[in-house]
Amino acid sequence: MKLKLGFSPCPNDTFIFDALIHHKIDTEGLDFEIFYDDVETLNQKAFRQDLDITKLSFHAYAYCVQNYVLLNSGSALGYGVGPLVISKYPVTDPKTVYTDKTVAIPGKFTTANFLFSLAFPEVKNKVEYLFSDIEDAVLSGKVDLGLIIHENRFTYEQKGLHKVIDLGAFWEEKTGCAIPLGGIVAKRSLDQDTKHKINRVLRKSVEYAFANPKSGIEFIRSHAQAMEDEVMYKHIELYVNKYSVDLGAEGRSAIELLFSKAVSAGVIPEVKEHLFLI
């Protein structure tokens, strides 16, 4: 059985999926057609139901939950992993700078934008950029502030940019929970046995990656956009953890809390479908 699978070329995703797509594990008869896209493109593909299995932002999941169900493996949650707001110049009090500023965001439906909206609901002047272009947009003065994700957490200071606020820390202080960033979903229209098979294979792929961390190095590097190996592995260590193997009760509770707060704040519509694969 061949399935359309989409994930980002970022090191955390290529680390997770390497064993699965290169058949280093038993894929139980499943084969995959692979699509590599940035997270906002993957979100849009999920809205169109282009893929059978895909990585997406938890924010975006709220808008396609009727068509996809969240797998127990493959998610990115954690502490100290949240998006950062950066500026070209030091900012002493972040609460004073947002209302009239232009903010570059990595996509309307990213979890980063969701968190920013929770922290600063009054800010409306947002411009969407590819996540990897946001630092340069801030440096050039095209925008006042940038909302950065992924490996840019490790590069912004080298470019002379300044952290204004860590939205992951904002979430953790507000809730005490890990921050849910993104997950792997499968089409609800797939039969239940296939969905569970996908989840099992994905878990085996994550476990293989942890047991053999250097196995996929060339594959990971080939998609890492000339990223230094040190940054590449920092990226993996930050975003791939126990929640990537299995959400567990703690991970599921964090995701449910995220959705609850988003609904209460009017950021997403009410979600009636069950979020998790059962």
Angstrom distance (rounded) from CA 277 to CA 227: 35
Q: Is 56 annotated as a binding residue?
A: yes
Rg value, the chain, Cα: 18
Cα–Cα distances (Å) from 251 to 34, 142, 254, in that order, read 27, 38, 5
| Contact criterion met (CB below 8 Å) for 149 and 83 | yes
**Is 223 one of the annotated active-site residues of the chain?**
no
Pick from 30, 63, 41, 87: which is nearest to 202 by CA?
A: 30
Catalytic annotation, pick one of 22, 23, 59, 150: 150
Q: Is 161 annotated as a binding residue?
A: no
Q: Is 111 annotated as a binding residue?
A: yes
Q: Is 55 annotated as a binding residue?
A: yes
Q: Is 112 annotated as a binding residue?
A: yes
Instruction: List the binding residues for substrate.
Output: 55-57, 111-112
Instruction: List the binding residues.
Output: 55-57, 111-112
Active site positions, annotated: 150
